[in-house]
């Protein structure tokens, strides 16, 4: 929480309000750091990576069958 964005449950209005308040109170420098961290975290999430994960899942399921 607060590293790459804000987490909240969509069915809990008070959590969403808190996240919005925190976002609005965050300094531009901190927002830039969070943006960079979010980009770095998302970089490996390519279609090829998703396909590899899916194939591994299928292989694991098949081996356990």
pLDDT of 1 higher than 80: no
Q: List Cα–Cα distances, 19 to 2, 12, 25, 64, in angstroms.
A: 9, 11, 10, 42
The overall average pLDDT reported for the chain is 95
Whether this model's pTM surpasses 0.75:
no
Confidence of residue 64 (pLDDT cuts 50, 70, 90): confident
What confidence score (pLDDT) does residue 38 get? 96
Question: In this structure, is the dihedral angle defined by the CA atoms of residues 9, 15, 17 and 22, taken in order, positive or negative?
Answer: negative
pLDDT of 49 higher than 90: yes
pLDDT of 29 higher than 90: yes
First vs last C-alpha separation in the chain: 38
């Amino acid at each position: 929480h607060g590293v790459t964005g804000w987490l909240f449950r969509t069915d809990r209005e008070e959590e969403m309000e808190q996240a919005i308040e925190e976002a609005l109170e965050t300094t531009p420098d901190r927002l830039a750091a969070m943006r960079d961290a979010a980009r770095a975290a998302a970089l490996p999430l390519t279609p090829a990576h998703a396909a590899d994960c899916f194939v591994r899942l299928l292989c694991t399921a098949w081996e356990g069958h």
